Structure 1
C-alpha cells in the first residue's frame, strides 16, 4: 500500500530515520538555502551527490516515491519549456555571451548559454527533491511537530501540520479502496475510459471523501479542546529526542555545504560560464 500513497511516513531502520526531527528540519533548510543561492554547476553537482547519498542511506526504495519523481519530471519539463518560450535569450543575458547552436523558428535560436542555464535549473530540482522527499518520508509526523516547536513555532501550528500529514495518506488509501469498489460496480476509472469521464468519476469520489475527512478532523479538534489542548504556552513531547553524535555531524555538514555555496557565490558569482 505504501507504493500507492505519497507524502507519507515510511519507517525504516536507517541512519536518516534515527536522526532527530530537529536535525532533519535544520539540515533540510540549510541544504535548501545552499542550493537556492547558486547556479554554479560544480557546487550543484556536489550537492546532488550529497542528496543522492542521503537518499540511499535512508533505505527508501524508488518505487515507493515514484509518483513524486514522475510529477517532478513533468513539472520540470513544463518549466523548462515555458522558460524557453517566454525568454529564449535568458541564458545569454545571464552569462553575457551568445553561441547559437541552431535556429528553430521565428525569434527562437537555441543557444549554448540557454541550454546550459536550463540544465542548471534541472540539476537544482534534482538536488532539492530527494532531500525534500526524505524530510517527509523519514520523519514521523509527531516528531515533525516537535521539531517545529523546537525552533520557536507554536505547538498548535505543529500539531496542525502533523494532523494534515497523517490524514493525507489516509485519504489516499480510502480513495483507492472506494475506487476499487466503484469499479467492481461498473464505474469506469481505468485507462481505457476517456480522460474527462475518469476525471468526473474521480471527483465524485474525492469530494465527499475530503468533506468527510474535514468533519473527522473537526471532531478531533473538538475532542482535543475538551481535553484542554492549547491551554498552556508550552508542552512536552513524547517523540522529542536528545541529540546524538550523528545529529551533530549532519548539522555540521549542512553548515559546511551552505558555507561553501556562499563562498563560491561571493568569489565567483552565482553563474559559472564555461563559454568564456
Structure 2
C-alpha cells in the first residue's frame, strides 16, 4: 500500500528513522533555510548531494514516493514555463549579462542566462524535495506532534496535525476501496470513457467518501471528548525520546550547512555567474 499512498509514514529501520522528531524538524528547517537563501550553483549542488545521501540512508524506495516525485516534476516544468512566459529576461537582469542562443518569437529570446537561472530554480526544488519527503515519510505523526510541542507550539495544534497526517492514508485507502466497489457494479472510470461521463461517475465515489470521512471525524471527536482532551494546558507524550549522539550530529550538520550557505552568499554574492 505504501506505493499507492502519499504523505504517509513509512516505517523503516534506519538512522534517519531513529532520530527524534525534534531533530528531524530542526534539521528540515535548517536545511530549508540553507537552500532558500542562495542561488549559488555550487552550494546548491553540494546541498543536493547531502539531500540525496540522507535519502539513501533512510532506506525508503523511490517507488514508494513516486507520486510525490511525479507531482514535483510536473509542477517544476510548469513553474519554469511560466517563469519564461512572464519574464524571459529575468536571468539577464539578475546576472547582468546577455548571451542570446536563439530568437523564438516576439519578445522571447532564449538566453543562456535565463536557462541558467531556471536551472538554479529547478535545482533548489531538487535540493529541498528529498528532505521534505523524508520529513513526512520517516516521522511518525505522533512523534511529529511531540516535536511541535517541544518547540513551544500548543499540543492541541500538534495533535491536530498528527491526526491530519494519519487521516490522509485512510482517505486514500477508502477512495481505492470505494472506487473498486463501484467499478465492480459497472461504474466505468477508465480512460476509454468520455471525460464528462467519468466526471459524472466520480460523484458516485466522492459522495460515499465524504460521508465515510465525516463519520470518521465524528468518531474521533467523540473519542477525544470522552478522554477529556484539551482539559489541561500541557500533556505528556509517549513518543518523545531523549536526545542521543546521532541527534546532536544531525543538528551540527544542519547548522554547518546553513553557515556555509550564508558565508558563500555573503562573500561571493547570492548568484554565481559563469558567463562573466
- Relative to structure 1, is the Cα distance of residues 188 and 160 closer, same or farther in structure 2, using a 3 angstrom cutoff? same
C-alpha distance in structure 2 between counterparts of 1:137 and 1:131, whole Å: 10
RMSD of aligned Cα (Å):
1.2
* TM-score under structure 2 length normalisation: 0.97
Q: Report whether the alignment pairs 1:167 with 2:172.
A: no
The alpha-carbon deviation at position 252 of structure 1 amounts to 0.4
The alpha-carbon deviation at position 196 of structure 1 amounts to 3.6
- Relative to structure 1, is the Cα distance of residues 89 and 167 closer, same or farther in structure 2, using a 3 angstrom cutoff? same
Aligned ranges for residues 48-63 of structure 1 at < 5 Å?
48-63=48-63
Aligned ranges for residues 1-276 of structure 1 at < 5 Å?
1-276=1-276
Q: 1:186-218: CA deviations, max 9, x gaps?
A: 111123223343333334412441343134223
2:109 match: secondary structure: strand
Could you tell me which runs of 5 or more consecutive residues in structure 1 were left unpaired when the two chains were aligned. none
C-alpha distance in structure 1 between counterparts of 2:196 and 2:97, whole Å: 47
Give yes or no for contact 1:34–1:257 (8 Å, CA) kept in 2.
Answer: yes
1:123 match: secondary structure: helix
Give yes or no for contact 2:182–2:204 (8 Å, CA) kept in 1.
Answer: no
* TM-score under structure 1 length normalisation: 0.97
C-alpha distance in structure 1 between counterparts of 2:200 and 2:250, whole Å: 47
C-alpha distance in structure 2 between counterparts of 1:229 and 1:171, whole Å: 24
The alpha-carbon deviation at position 222 of structure 1 amounts to 3.0
Deviates more, 1:189-198 or 1:254-263: 189-198
1:67 match: secondary structure: helix
Q: 1:25-48: CA deviations, max 9, x gaps?
A: 000000011111100000000010
The alpha-carbon deviation at position 68 of structure 1 amounts to 0.5
Could you tell me which runs of 5 or more consecutive residues in structure 2 were left unpaired when the two chains were aligned. none
C-alpha distance in structure 1 between counterparts of 2:28 and 2:197, whole Å: 40
Deviates more, 1:240-249 or 1:205-214: 205-214
Give yes or no for contact 1:171–1:210 (8 Å, CA) kept in 2.
Answer: no
